[in-house]
Amino acid sequence: MIKKYDFDGFENPYSTFKRKELGERLARAQRLIGNLSIPVLIIVEGWESSGKGYVIKDLVRELNAKHFKVSVFENPTEEEQRRPFLWRFWNEIPGKGDIAIFDRSFYFKLFNDLTIRDEELEQNIKEISSIENQLLDDRTIIIKFFLHQKEETQQKRINELKEDPYRSFMISERDENQNDHYNQYLNHFDSILEKSDFTFSKWHVISSEDKKDASEKALGMAIDLIHQGIDRIMGMKNGGQRKELRDYSPEETPLDNVNLNLKLDDKEYDKRKDELQVEAQRLAFQLYTKGIPTVLVFEGVDAAGKGGAINRLTREMDPRGYEVVTTSAPSELEKNHHYLWRFYKNFPKKGDMKIFDRSWYGRVMVERVEGLAETEEWDRAYDEINQMEKHLHNFGTLVLKFFIYIDKDEQLKRFKARETEPDKIYKLTDEDWRNRKKWDEYIDAMNEMLVRTNTEFAPWTIVEGQQKKYARIKVLETFIKEAREILDKTD
Amino acid sequence: MIKKYDFDGFENPYSTFKRKELGERLARAQRLIGNLSIPVLIIVEGWESSGKGYVIKDLVRELNAKHFKVSVFENPTEEEQRRPFLWRFWNEIPGKGDIAIFDRSFYFKLFNDLTIRDEELEQNIKEISSIENQLLDDRTIIIKFFLHQKEETQQKRINELKEDPYRSFMISERDENQNDHYNQYLNHFDSILEKSDFTFSKWHVISSEDKKDASEKALGMAIDLIHQGIDRIMGMKNGGQRKELRDYSPEETPLDNVNLNLKLDDKEYDKRKDELQVEAQRLAFQLYTKGIPTVLVFEGVDAAGKGGAINRLTREMDPRGYEVVTTSAPSELEKNHHYLWRFYKNFPKKGDMKIFDRSWYGRVMVERVEGLAETEEWDRAYDEINQMEKHLHNFGTLVLKFFIYIDKDEQLKRFKARETEPDKIYKLTDEDWRNRKKWDEYIDAMNEMLVRTNTEFAPWTIVEGQQKKYARIKVLETFIKEAREILDKTD
């Protein structure tokens, strides 16, 4: 992509326009995407000292400051290193109608590591392709610029900056190092650009030999690419689905095979419970000391006993080490972003445990059944979820998902009990009764979910919930087994 | 408070109850505050190795995990050090109906610094008293525990932990250091506890010589204190205001004296604008390199030209260094917290600039005039805002507030112009017309605000907005003057 780049062949078809004029046209494009509620992500990558700052300044100059944000990504801070690779980028994705400009991006780490192993590179590119794909599917326009310059130009710019008393601090070892090994980096960049030049999201290499030229080209291309993006999205909207919906006919319906007769007698329950809770605490503490993050997901039919199971699981654990995250209907701000955005924010740091009482699976259950998500949206969510959980897994996260099941009669019994017990009445809502009416539809959605998101790296455990005691013990035992396994691997 | 503490006189009036029973009673108290939408903050401070973790575990054991959160405050991370002292605590304050437990708190820094200067201690205590006061006024229940132990008990516990292969890492230099200088710390703690034992928010010292005893006492007291807190709040609710509203009769009405004839001719404007923008950029860059955070607030009547002024101010600045924060109606989550919460989250790190296009002043303007805040709420907001801005100032933040004024006729002219210009129509909303009907009420509120929050550390600049060009130059010049001043001081 850049190895044989012809600097002299750099054309600037926008040079007939003034930058101010281009800026104003970009501002109009911004109002357009604002009206259409389309998010725009502009990535500006390139050599060190290639003028990224200069180009970004020109890009935003005429924009409405309320609706753009520039995010600078440097080497990850200590805090950021304790999170999965994509975490900090997900936090900064644009909302609907906004423009996010990334000064460096998720490519930064790859570009800067000459000695990255092929395997790791492959995995990172895969993860990057999944975030780009997911944002594109969510109607985001992604524009990727790479600012390219000659070895001698870089050298000259580094020298100039070094001599400027106010700006010399901007030159780091990284700049000098790149310049000292220009050809090595050239090959490295080229190969990464090649690998990440996805058909759905291409790179645009811009020569920054002349910064003014580069700015004009970036402005002009941004305008054109936004218009092309709008065109693509309008196509999506007018029924032109991105892809065929997967023709899904369930071969398995795991919930039909749940054995609802499983029971424990009180004596056995009491005996095992105490031991298991102490052991769960011991293992949670070890996960903490070894810096292993844990994500536990609890889903199930209403009144299946999620809260009780969580409570019994965490009973002996140090409350400073875990947090229960409740998932309810998304806020306006959350609706304004990709639906996974709010969950990414909440993923645990190394050593922490987050327990999700309901989760991102709402997308393929309640949002699907109640028509809160379009078919195309929930249909692609299975892949998106699998990719996200894979990303957590790749970071070393222990991901466990529990689905607690009770049958329709048992649910009715529990609803009625809640109506009469003063300490429980707060648990019963109108929504519960509403969902109950759609029991069969929910079961279908749940069956499909359990099959399509049951992966090796994030498997479902179906918990027979008819007897609460049995369910609680099974959750404890499963956690213990899986925690031991991951701990053994890290020994 | 603890220097003459009589360990043998430690009574545990709750010892007749089982911890489980106390835990369940606390869970009922949790449901009660949930029903009443009251936030509860429990602070657990104390000696190192005094069993804070043990007590906290017992406190939460029976609670509904969805509605409590334990936050651990260690030495501030690099990231946290770049924010004002109270920033990380504000982020973790409880929402309505939730219990937040702080394992260590804003007192941590004071407790640990034996050599803290009197002046700094004084200032920090003042800031802490202001956050506690503000939360109390917002109907929060605050409970402050200090776990106390004898020198030899601490020594014994440190030794025990050191010998435990799994837990020895929990012992830090801090533990040993405290024990080595037990008496010095005893005096130091005592003096801080004394100084922060506010009549409105008292300390509760608990002997942790016996951890089980300590847990029972913490549980029992938490239950009692929550009930007392509810009592206090019910008193507030039933018209029993916390204090008399300040009898405010405006001596000054600054907006009556705005000279609306101030103008610049086009030639002068063009000439000065370019120079000033470059100078503003230069100074913004210096603020950045010196690590000075900047908060700029823009308020004004509708259509006064806030957006245009911001745009001209930032035109030459590096967009990676500033962010424009738009303030609109609060979300559900934001409404669920103290109204300053969402602004605290957004305050700049060292070296960053945040520009607020509307701000926390909404409380005493739109929320006051439209009846969205109760009288008692907006009335106390003047003090709260002054305290918050003082806190920013103490951290070294440059705080500048611009109020742009145009008269009623000019507003009408601009509304009409917006109606007809395609590039501007999006700026005009029904709300603008609605607000215009209450012009006089808004002006009264604005006058009062401009007088009551015009402080030495965060002064208002009233900008004559009748001619946009004049206003833009004044904003630029004011920023330049103030930036130079703070930069001179730090040289």
pLDDT on residue B315? 93
Check B53 against A320: CB less than 8 A apart: yes
ipTM above 0.90, yes or no: no
B324 CB near a chain A CB, below 8 Å? yes
Distance from the A337 Cα atom to the nearest Cα atom in chain B, whole angstroms? 15
% residues pLDDT > 90 (chain A): 81
Q: What are the phi and psi torsion angles at A487 (to 5°)?
A: -70, -40
Alpha-carbon distances, residue B279 vs A115, B274, B286, B315 (angstroms): 44, 9, 11, 11
What pLDDT, on the 0 to 100 scale, is given for residue A170? Answer: 83
A56 with A101: CB under 8 angstroms? yes
Angle between helix B173-180 and B182-195 (nearest 10): 90
Q: What is the pLDDT of residues A438-491, one digit of tens each?
A: 999 999 999 999 999 999 999 999 999 999 999 999 999 999 999 999 999 987
End-to-end CA distance of chain B: 43
pLDDT band for A309, please (50, 70, 90 cuts).
very high
Q: What is the pLDDT of residue A239?
A: 46
Q: Do B426 and A31 touch (CB under 8 A)?
A: yes
Asked if residues B470 and B263 have their Cβ atoms less than 8 Å apart, the reply is yes
B40 C-beta neighbours (distance < 10 Å), count: 25
Burial tier of A344 (Cβ tally within 10 Å: 0-12, 13-18, 19+): buried
| CA-based end-to-end distance of chain A | 43
- In this predicted structure, what is the pLDDT of residue A265? 94
Task: Test B426 with A34 for CB contact under 8 angstroms.
Answer: yes
User: Nearest Cα to A391, choosing from A89, A94, A93, A126?
Assistant: A126
A389 token code pair? 């959980």
Residue found by looking up tokens 């000033």 in the block? B276
* Strands A398-405 and A460-464, sheet pairing: parallel
Helix (H) or strand (E) holding A55: helix A52-60
Give residue A50's Cα distance to chain centre.
Answer: 30
Compute the distance between CA of residue A342 and CA of residue B336 in angstroms, rounded to an integer: 18
Instruction: Please judge whether B72 and A34 are an interchain contact, meaning their C-beta atoms are less than 8 angstroms apart.
Output: no
Nearest to A37 by CA among A101, A99, A92: A99
| Residue A266: burial class (beta carbons within 10 Å; 0-12, 13-18, 19+) | exposed
Percent helix, strand and coil across chain B, each to the nearest 5: 55, 15, 35
Which of B60, B77, B318 faces A319 most closely, judged by CB atoms? B60
**With contacts defined as CB-CB under 8 Å, which chain A residues touch B357?**
65-66
In this complex, is the C-beta atom of B389 within 8 Å of any C-beta atom belonging to chain A?
A: no
HSE-CB at B67 with a 13 A cutoff on CA atoms is: 23
Structure tokens at A461: 């455990």
DSSP, collapsed to helix, strand or coil, labels residue B460 as: strand
Query: Could you read off the pLDDT of A101-120 as tens digits, one per residue?
Result: 999 999 999 999 999 999 99
Q: Cα–Cα distance between B127 and A490 in angstroms, integer?
A: 45
Q: For an interface test with B, give the residue of A170, A320, A326, A335 to mutate (most B CBs within 10 A).
A: A320
Predicted confidence at residue A384, as pLDDT, reads: 95
Q: Cα separations (Å) of B344 from B87, B283, B348?
A: 6, 25, 9
Q: Pick from B198, B41, B186, B63: which is nearest to B133 by CA?
A: B198
Contact A355 B65 (CB under 8 A): yes
Are residues B331 and A326, on separate chains, in Cβ contact within 8 Å? Answer: no
Handedness of CA B253, B254, B255, B258 (dihedral sign): positive
- Per the DSSP assignment, residues forming a β-bridge with A297 are A356, A401
Q: Select the more confidently predicted residue: A195 or A77.
A: A195
Cβ(B150)–Cβ(B209) below 8 Å: yes
Query: Rounded distance, CA B402 to CA B462, Å?
Result: 6
Mean pLDDT across the stretch A177-202? 96
List CB contacts of B335: < 8 A, sequence separation 6 or more: none
Which residues of chain A neighbour B42 with C-beta distances below 8 Å?
A: none
Nearest-by-Cβ selection for B320 from A53, A66, A357:
A53
Sheet order of strands, B460-464 included: B322-326, B353-357, B294-300, B398-405, B460-464
Bin A21: left if φ > 0, else alpha if -120 < ψ < 50, else beta: alpha
> Closest partner residue to B324 among A35, A65, A72, by Cβ?
A65
Written as six digits, the tokens of B124 are 């920090």
Residue A359 CA, distance from chain mean position = 14
Q: For A17, which DSSP code?
A: S
Q: How would DSSP label each residue in B298-345?
A: EEESTTS-HHHHHHHHHTTS-TTTEEEEE--S--HHHHTS-TTHHHHH
Please state, in angstroms and rounded to a whole number, the distance separating the CA atoms of residues A130 and A128.
5
* A28–B323 CB contact, under 8 Å: no
| Mean pLDDT of each 10-residue bin along chain B, 491 residues long | 87 85 95 95 97 95 92 90 94 96 96 94 94 94 97 96 85 93 97 95 96 95 96 71 56 89 94 95 96 97 95 93 91 92 94 96 95 92 96 96 97 92 79 92 95 95 97 98 95 71
Write down the residue that tokens 């002064």 correspond to: B459
C-alpha to C-alpha distance for A164 and A158, rounded to whole angstroms = 10
Q: At A51, is the secondary structure helix, strand, or coil?
A: coil
* Eight-class DSSP state of B290: T
DSSP state of B458: S
Q: How far is Cα A426 from Cα A403, in angstroms, rounded to an integer?
A: 23
**8 Å CB contact of B307 and A103:** no
pLDDT of residue B339: 95
**B70, B326, B355 ranked by CB distance to A320: nearest:** B70
Identity of the residue in B69, B103, B331 whose CB atom sits nearest the CB atom of A333: B331
Q: Could you tell me the two tokens for A75?
A: 């080497």
The residue among B33, B161, B320 with the most chain A CBs within 10 A of its CB, best to mutate, is: B320
The residues pairing with B40 across neighbouring beta strands, listed in sequence order, are B99, B141
Taking 70 as the threshold, does the pLDDT of residue A178 lie above it? yes
Beta bridge partners of B42: B101, B143
Rounded to 5 degrees, what are φ and ψ at A198?
-65, 145
Contact A289 B64 (CB under 8 A): no
Sheet with strand A68-72: strands edge to edge: A68-72, A99-103, A40-46, A141-148, A203-207
Q: Does A69 touch chain B (CB under 8 A)?
A: yes
Q: How far apart are CA A309 and CA A312, in angstroms?
A: 5
- Going by C-beta distance under 8 Å and a sequence separation of 6 or more, which residues neighbour residue A352? A288, A293, A294, A321, A322, A323
Interface of B with A in 154-183 (CB under 8 A): 166, 169
Residue B99 distance to chain A (closest CA, Å): 13
Within an 8 Å CB–CB cutoff, is residue B277 touching chain A? no
* Count of CB atoms situated within 10 Å of the CB of A25: 19
- The residue count for chain A: 491
Q: Which of A50-54, A60-64, B125-129, B162-166 has the lowest mean pLDDT?
A: B162-166
Residue A24 at interface with chain B, using a CB cutoff of 8 Å: no
According to DSSP, residue B294 is labeled E
Q: Report which of A204, B377, B489 is spatially closest to residue B360, judged by C-alpha positions.
A: B377
Task: Please report which helix (H) or strand (E) contains residue B356, including its range.
Answer: strand B353-357
Tell me if A53 and B332 make a contact (CB, 8 A cut-off). no
CB contact under 8 A, A423 and B169: no
Residues 6+ apart with CB under 8 A from B292: B350, B351, B396, B397, B398, B486, B487, B490
Is A314 at the interface with chain B, CB within 8 A? yes
Using alpha carbons only, give the angle A283, A357, A370 rounded to the nearest 5 degrees.
Answer: 150
**DSSP codes of every residue in A339-386:** TTHHHHHTPPPTT-EEEEES-GGGGGTHHHHTT-S-HHHHHHHHHHHH
Reference B316, options A1, A332, A78, A62; nearest CA is A62
Which one is predicted more confidently, B236 or A417? A417
- How many Cβ atoms from other residues are within 10 Å of residue B362's Cβ? 22
Is A261 at the interface with chain B, CB within 8 A?
no
Best of A32, A33, A55, A57 to mutate (most B CBs within 10 Å, chain B): A57
Q: Provide the 8-state DSSP code for B17.
A: S
Distance CA B381, CA B373 (A): 10
Q: Which of residues 104-163 of A touch B (CB under 8 A)?
A: none
Q: Do B31 and A426 touch (CB under 8 A)?
A: yes
Chain A positions in Cβ-Cβ contact with residue B307 (cut-off 8 Å): 64-66
Look over chain A and give the mean of its residue pLDDT values, rounded to a whole number.
Answer: 92
B315 Cβ under 8 Å from any chain A Cβ:
yes
Whose CA is closest to B160, among B174, B145, B175, B148? B175
Give A345's contacts in chain B (Cβ within 8 Å): none
The pLDDT value given to residue A146: 98
Write out the DSSP string of A86-119. THHHHTTPPPTT-EEEEES-TTHHHHH-TT--HH
Q: Is A322 helix (H, G, I), strand (E, B) or coil?
A: strand
Output the DSSP codes for A226-250. Answer: HHHHHHHHHHHHTT--SSPPP----
B57 in contact with chain A, both atoms CB, cutoff 8 A: yes
Answer whether A65 sits within 8 Å of B426, measured CB to CB.
Answer: no
Rounded CA-CA distance A337/A352 in Å is: 26
Cα A408 from chain centre: 35
Question: Do A56 and B103 count as a contact with CB atoms less than 8 A apart?
Answer: no
